[in-house]
Amino acid sequence: MGMPITVEIADESAVEEAINNIFTYFEYVESKFSVYKQTSEISLFNKGEISEDEFSDDMKKIFELSEETKKLTNGYFDIKSDKKYDPSGLVKGWAIYNAAQLLKDMGFKNFYVEAGGDIQAYGKNGEGQFWKVGIKNPFEQTQIVKAVRIENKGIATSGTCLRGQHIYNPKDNNKPAVEIISLTVIGPNIYEADRFATAAFAMGKKGIEFIEGLKGFEGYMIDYNGTATMTGCFEKYVLK
């Protein structure tokens, strides 16, 4: 998927095979949705070599979820640009969430799955405490500006400091979204947190207001001047 993936299981019953199964699943997701692999299903579709009628069930699901997200975000989330489709803004969170569900189905209760900084956490860590997640300073990656604790939640960050400019405003001729540098969202699960973080980032500074209006979500935004803004109840997750 072009990003580091980490899986940690804190249960005593953890076995290497369980973690291997998760990486196998991510390899499957990459084979379907990577826009960098010429043989992936999404690439074949973009090249006109297959039609929507030939979509796999997972591809049909992603297009369905993408359209739903577009409506929920008033058009700020859109996987189509220049007649090409790139669903990665939704697929990553969806895949992390599904991988976590696989671990739950195996009977594990305390673990996290992380890909590219986006995390789904369940239960507690190996010390019996809430999972701790650091939010990096987008201007100085060695610094942590906030540390939060989460349990049975997802946390996602959209930004430009690691991957460069890759988020565009679909409602403004796909101009680069440059008003903010980083937007972190905590939600009921990583799928929800990730898709809304991406859309909110494209909204610019008003994105934090969008997150504020979502029930069950909290956000932390850093703009291009380095000014941070958080939603009303984000502080309850912050480690003192």
- The domain 5-237 having CATH identifier 3.40.50.2030: the answer here is no
Could you give the 3-state DSSP secondary structure of residue 93?
helix
Sign of CA dihedral 32, 33, 37, 42: positive
Asked which of 73-82, 89-98, 155-164, 194-203 is least confident by mean pLDDT, the reply is 155-164
Most confident stretch, 85-89, 140-144, 183-187: 183-187
User: Can you count the helices (H) and strands (E) in the chain?
Assistant: 6, 13
Confidence of residue 165 (pLDDT cuts 50, 70, 90): very low
Mean pLDDT, residues 32-48: 96
* pLDDT recorded at residue 159: 77
Amino acid at 106: M
pLDDT tens digit sequence for 89-116: 999 999 999 999 999 999 999 999 999 8
- Copy the structure tokens of residue 93: 């969170």
The answer to whether residue 166 scores a pLDDT higher than 70 is: no
The answer to whether residue 139 scores a pLDDT higher than 60 is: yes
Mean pLDDT, residues 131-138: 94
* pLDDT recorded at residue 68: 98
The answer to whether residue 60 scores a pLDDT higher than 60 is: yes
> What are the Cα distances from residue 104, in Å, to 11, 21, 67, 71, 229?
11, 13, 28, 31, 34
Asked which of 95-99, 138-142, 153-157, 190-194 is least confident by mean pLDDT, the reply is 138-142
* pLDDT recorded at residue 164: 47
The answer to whether residue 173 scores a pLDDT higher than 60 is: no
| E-state strands within the chain | 5-9, 80-81, 84-85, 111-115, 118-122, 131-137, 140-150, 153-159, 168-169, 175-176, 180-187, 218-223, 228-230
User: Rounded to two decimals, what is the model's pTM?
Assistant: 0.92
Q: Across the chain, what does the average pLDDT equal? A: 92
The answer to whether residue 59 scores a pLDDT higher than 80 is: yes
